[in-house]
Amino acid sequence: MSGGLLVAGTTSDAGKSVVTAGICRWLVRQGVKVAPFKAQNMSLNSFVTTEGAEIGRAQAMQAQACRIEPTALMNPVLLKPGGEQSSQVVLLGKPVGELSARGYHGGRQQQLLGTVLDCLEQLRGTYDAVICEGAGSPAEINLRRTDIVNMGIARNAGLPVLVVGDIDRGGVFASFFGTVALLSPEDQACVAGFLVNKFRGDVSLLEPGLDMLLGLTGRRTYGVLPFRHGLGIDEEDGLRVSLRGAVRESVVAPPLGEDVLRVAVCAVPLMSNFTDVDALAAEPGVVVRFVDRPEELSDADLVIVPGTRGTVRALEWLRERGLADALVRRAAEQRPVLGICGGFQILGEHIEDDVESRRGQVDGLGILPVRVRFAREKTLTRPSGEALGERVEGYEIHHGVADVTGGIPFLDGCRVGQSWGTHWHGSLESDGFRRAFLREVAAAAGRRFVPAPDTSFAALREEQLDRLGDLIEQHADTDALWRLIESGAPQGLPFIPPGAPA
């Protein structure tokens, strides 16, 4: 059996995904054959692998950190929220149904443990090391009985656990201690120690606290990672452009033209794959913001209606907010609008949905000559083609089947005037196509904007992953970390009362 490690966190968004990616990149630079793994992911940001499987985008980026192709084994269970209390369950890359939170935690989740462990075993049989990412907090005592992503998998697979805490939020010592103290003796035996994330200031001032934490828990701290702007990888959820910080806060050439280009992204409910706009934010002179009011569209040079897990719900939200009317006016005025996936469907004439919302016949915005029918089988593909004279690659994740009845062909969708629509996610990551598209937008908007000729989105991603690897290499005890991965948690770690409730 190969080495392994579970990166848990004191909270959601403590930095588990980033630390996992950083450890993966550090290991692969040492010549270690490594793979990422997350047993269960809840996210509306997903990716399609080469074999046509849908997994979380964070695991796809972690695979890139490992310099390997992502597969369904790396994220066997993906939950895609469709409302406040229900999610689509994607198993080994394919949707298997909708479940309420109670139904999932009431039995279905535990049934998946065997599948999850089998996927992890396959990865460990192929790679020198597998770096696993937990979810939320391992001390969610109400969910421990059915847990398959934190201590449940650590115990069953014999993985040592490293707990990450975000010190920028405050309370990190209490969070570390409380996390361990709320675990059962058997779970505590897996917790090897801690990693402090996002520290600002003089580390020597923190060291007395780390010594006290060691005295209280018998567990060491494996590193203190300094706060660095723009180091997030593709997020599970939230409203942040994941590469925007990295680009804006590093040395970037000023815009080539005299004007900037303003992009407004409609923050629709259940927004999915909003990472599509990262490539735009990576361009010098392009300003991206998320909006939810019609007046915020007035000075935008391009408005994007992004993907969504609830097309009909998002359409209703646009109408309630007055954004739908603003989009129709923009299209009539020949001002650029781009619809991606669910956003493309919204821009069409008609939607027939007996699958996602079960609302039946619904009128779209009528901007594009497209009629959409929702199929029960999900389309999961990695298409490639040409648009605006440039090579384009993307990926598709949707139930809606579009019947395009007019307009100028554009990828798998169409264009009418300055309104564009496609099901392809990730198309803007193709550098030549992105530049050509931005030139069209700038011309239509009357902006003296010139896209930079040498911006490489793939190179920016690699630079970001290398910076994560540098953080681990420079600020973690890598010798101790490797011993942990290779040999497991130290023996004889003390029990910290009170432990998990009975």
Q: Which of 226, 147, 224 is nearest to 190 (CA)?
A: 147
For 269, the 3-state DSSP assignment is coil
Q: Which amino acid is at 451?
A: P
Is-catalytic flag, 425? yes
Report the C-alpha gap between 328 and 331 in whole angstroms.
5
Interstrand relation of 413-416 and 419-422 (parallel, antiparallel or unpaired): antiparallel
Interstrand relation of 129-133 and 77-81 (parallel, antiparallel or unpaired): unpaired
Report the C-alpha gap between 63 and 358 in whole angstroms.
36
Q: Are 241 and 266 in contact (CB under 8 A)?
A: no
Report the C-alpha gap between 215 and 203 in whole angstroms.
19
Q: Are 108 and 90 in contact (CB under 8 A)?
A: no
Exactly one of 398, 399, 423, 425 is catalytic; name it: 425
**How many CB atoms sit inside 10 A of residue 227's CB?**
13
498: Cα separation from own chain's centroid: 35
Alpha carbons within 13 angstroms on the beta-carbon side of residue 223 total 23
* Token pair recorded at residue 144: 């421990």
Dihedral, 86, 92, 93, 96 alpha carbons, nearest 10: -40
Report the C-alpha gap between 229 and 168 in whole angstroms.
12
Q: Looking up tokens 């815009």, which residue turns up?
A: 255
Q: Are 74 and 124 in contact (CB under 8 A)?
A: no
Q: Which of 395, 394, 399, 409 is nearest to 372 (CA)?
A: 399
Exactly one of 190, 341, 398, 414 is catalytic; name it: 341
The continuous run of DSSP H or E covering 272 comes out as: strand 271-272
Is-catalytic flag, 119? no
Q: Which amino acid is at 422?
A: T
Q: Are 263 and 286 in contact (CB under 8 A)?
A: yes
Which residues form the catalytic set? 341, 425
